[in-house]
Structure 1
Amino acid sequence: MVTDGQTGTRIDEVGNGIYRISTPISAEAIPPHGFSFNRYLIHDDEPMLFHAGLRKMFPLTRDAIATVMPPEKLRYIGISHMEADEVGALNDLLAIAPHAEPVCGKIAAMVNIGDIADRQPRALADGDTLATGQRTWQWLGAPHMPHGWDAGYLFDTSGDALLCGDLFTQGGADTPPLTESDILGPSEDFRKGMDYYSHTRNAPALMEKIAATEPRLLACMHGSAWAGDGGALLRALGRELEESETG
């Protein structure tokens, strides 16, 4: 459903109670094919937004959330790692949601979020869990994967979904909300054109740790969300990364 006709911002349910909020950016602004900035609303007893979004997109994010629930009832705002598209609107969201807490890894809390956020974050160590009601999320620490010392992801322990940050970043402004088609090829094309991976020597072990969760939904922050055998796709990404290092 389009929630802002001027920007094309839309919200779509891509999983049971998991909503993708996406704002497309034109090819004129981000050549050659445009781009998209996604946020994910987890509509649960204690609702969570994963990625606060860019500061200038705050009204778009707020209005999209309002089509599903009152934005002031947000309980958690999750952050994968420190970048403007993840934390830009954090304090604006905290201002309208009086009971909301930032949620991030311990490194992010120590070096960034504990200082810039108007409310103290809930800092998660690798393996820690966070219950939002019907779902329980586990923090997967993934330093430098694909970038950021503080990087990590939230995995629904039922196996339903992985909030996978900048993994599988796809270019393009007009991507479907949810797909079962190939996203590895497009994401590898994007990576080869703009090398945003850290090339950490721990990549194989980190990718296997993430793949072992065997998610059925990958909630990508740029491009389409993806449904299918997430473990297999994550391992395929791991092989691509290994080959790019050895080749």
Structure 2
Amino acid sequence: METKIDEIAERIYRLSTFVQEIAAPAGFTFNQFLIDADEPFLFHCGPRSLFPPVSKALGAITPIERLRWISFGHVEADECGAMNLWLAAAPQAQVVHGQIACMVSLNDLADRPPRALADGETIDIGGKRVRYIDTPHVPHAWESGLIYEETTRTLFCGDLFSQIGHGPAIVTDSVLDAAIAAENAFQATSLTPATGPTIRMLATLEPHRLATMHGSSYEGDCAALLSQLADFYEAALAAKSAHSPAP
């Protein structure tokens, strides 16, 4: 497998590997993102099986040994399966995540102690500023959280807006329909009363682009797109509640 490199914003690189066998016949992409700042920051580690091509791609941008920060949306193989391989390859790197993720998983799973971040805490990585945002149960797990790069206004939105297939690195046409089709296929998102409001909170950031883990990233009116995704999940929750048996 080959990992493709695309710069989706100034010094922000998408490292994308297409896997035909997943969601066949359309296939599925696994995307990691490198913020190439003075202290390089990797968001998403990828599964262990993809470490060879992804690390080779990152090494074409900057030496892996320079990597300083590693993070991901939640504890799941495609997000952090290769975490300890990255830590071994980059001796100065440290995993950063929210306090819940560190408490319930990463203090034990990571080969070096992680750094726990408070909701809204920022890290100045030299030329870029990364803000951590708690998003519990959005899209799935209790420990879920995302990052927002403030200088380019890029929201790294993890599994939100996942799309099946092999599209361009970044698009300006709406990815909402493709994201809804993927959600209907996988039914991967936790539907709770907090799902819509959490996504609407992300919309208030008014990001310029959405860096998605599966599928094309999006550049445009991200606040409107996030609000539309919140509408979809709120309608789905209402429909599910209406068909649930009375207690």
1:22-63 per-residue CA deviation (whole Å, 9 max, x = no partner) reads 11011x443241101000000000001101111111111110
Which residue in 1 is equivalent to 2:208? 216
1:15 to 9, 28, 38: 9
| TM-score, scaled relative to structure 1 | 0.94
Matches of 1:200 and 1:142, distance apart in 2: 12
The alignment partner of 1:104 has SS state of: strand
Query: Do 1:159 and 1:213's aligned partners in 2 also have CA atoms closer than 8 Å?
Result: no
Conserved 8 A contact 1:40-1:49: yes
In the alignment, does 2:196 pair up with 1:204? yes
Query: What TM-score do you get using the length of structure 2 for normalisation?
Result: 0.94
SS of equivalent residue, structure 1 residue 143: coil
Q: What is the alpha-carbon distance in structure 2 between the residues aligned to residue 125 and residue 209 of structure 1?
A: 17
Kindly provide the CA deviation profile for residues 41-94 of structure 1, in whole angstroms up to 9, marking residues without a partner as x.
Answer: 000000011011111111111100111100111000112100001111111111
Corresponding position: 1:169 with 2:199: no
Distance in 2 (CA, whole Å) between partners of 1:230 and 1:244 is 21
The structural deviation recorded for 1:227 is 0.5
Alignment partners' CA distance in 1, 2:23 and 2:237: 28
Equivalent residue, structure 2, for 1:184 = 176
Deviations 1:191-236 (CA, angstroms, capped at 9, x unpaired)? 0111001102112321121111110010000001111111111011
**CA distance, structure 2, for counterparts of residue 206 and residue 30 of structure 1:** 28
**Counterpart of 1:3?**
none
In the aligned structure 1, how far is the partner of 2:115 from the partner of 2:41?
A: 13
Moved over 4 A (4+): none
2:29 maps to which of 14, 31, 36: 36
How far the C-alpha of 1:8 sits from its partner, in A, is 3.1
Distance in 2 between the 1:204 and 1:54 partners? 29
The amino acid that maps onto 2:234 is E
Q: Distance in 2 between matches of 1:203 and 1:30?
A: 25
Structure 1 stretches of 5 or more lacking a match? 1-6
> Pairwise CA RMSD of aligned residues?
1.1
Q: What is the aligned residue count?
A: 239
Hey, what does 1:94 align to over in structure 2? 87
Q: Relative to 1, partners in 2 of residues 1:29 and 1:184: Cα closer, same or farther, differing over 3 Å?
A: closer
Structure 2 Cα separation of the partners of residues 182 and 231 of structure 1: 12
Deviation at 1:137, TM superposition (A): 1.3
- Assess if the C-alpha contact under 8 Å between 1:18 and 1:43 holds in 2: yes
Q: What's the offset of the Cα at 1:168? A: 0.1
In 2, Cα distance between equivalents of 1:206 and 1:159: 22
